[in-house]
Amino acid sequence: MILTIDVGNSRIKGAVFEGDTILELFVFEKKELQKKIEFILKKYPNCTYLVVASVGDVEKKTFLAFENQISIHFMASNDVFPFVNKYETPKTLGIDRMVLAAGAVLKYPKCNRLVIDAGTCVTYDFINEQDHYLGGAISPGIQLRYKALHDYTSKLPLLELGSPESFIGASTGASIHSGVVNGLVCEIKGFIEQYQEINPNFIIILTGGDTDFLAKRLKNTIFANSNFLLESLNQTFQYKIEND
């Protein structure tokens, strides 16, 4: 069994895998990390590896406290990946984006892939059919957009995520919801259209915390999977073991 942990900017997600099958998913706050790992390892004592991908501010020593119980591996850019990294600044490429790209290559071989991760930030990553990672884009996620409107203006309120009733907002609140939600949906559609102009034959993978909310608003044929990063982390680690 493999326990995968994804440390994001906002929260932590984990999953226990038996082969490629998820046995259980976990979502929790950073302050709960140590107790959650203790709980998971007691519940699944046959876990042999703890595999971590982190873009958050959790210290490694929190994980290393368990190194007497389980083998721990922190995914890093110098690991073995199933693609050729063509990014101009490869050392600055986030490990989450690298793992997602690896998962796309392993799950959807011999095709062009666009991975859209809708979390704190929205990232776009393109890997062509030759398994060359070419790069993509980074933009603010839904919650960042709401927060920015409040933090950088004097009168706009901080709203929770909501579904716009109309494209035309008839109040300040409705206008904010329309601008944030419809703005991001239009952005995603626009990016997809730009990639289609370059190469019309590719698959789209949508993942991240806002997957379900956004998927129903996108008409494009997409593979929506909010757990794709955890699945990719499991598959990438298995690929590393086989190819090191």
Q: What sections of the chain are H helices per DSSP?
A: 33-43, 60-64, 95-107, 142-151, 172-177, 183-198, 211-215, 228-243
Q: State the amino acid at position 116 in one-letter form.
A: I
Give backbone dihedrals phi and psi of 74, rounded to 5 degrees, phi first: -95, 115
Q: Partners of 7 in the beta sheet?
A: 12, 54
194 burial (CB, 10 Å; 0-12 / 13-18 / 19+) is: exposed
Q: Is 96 a catalytic residue?
A: yes
The Cα–Cα gap between 53 and 230 comes to 9
Tokens of 156: 């706009």
> Is residue 224 helix, strand or coil?
strand
Minimal CA–CA distance to 36: which of 67, 61, 5? 5
Catalytic residue, from 96, 125, 131, 210: name it.
Answer: 96
Q: 117-152 burial, b if ≥16 CB within 10 A, otherwise e?
A: bbbbbbbbbbbbeebebbebeeebbbbbbbeebeee
The set of catalytic residues is 96
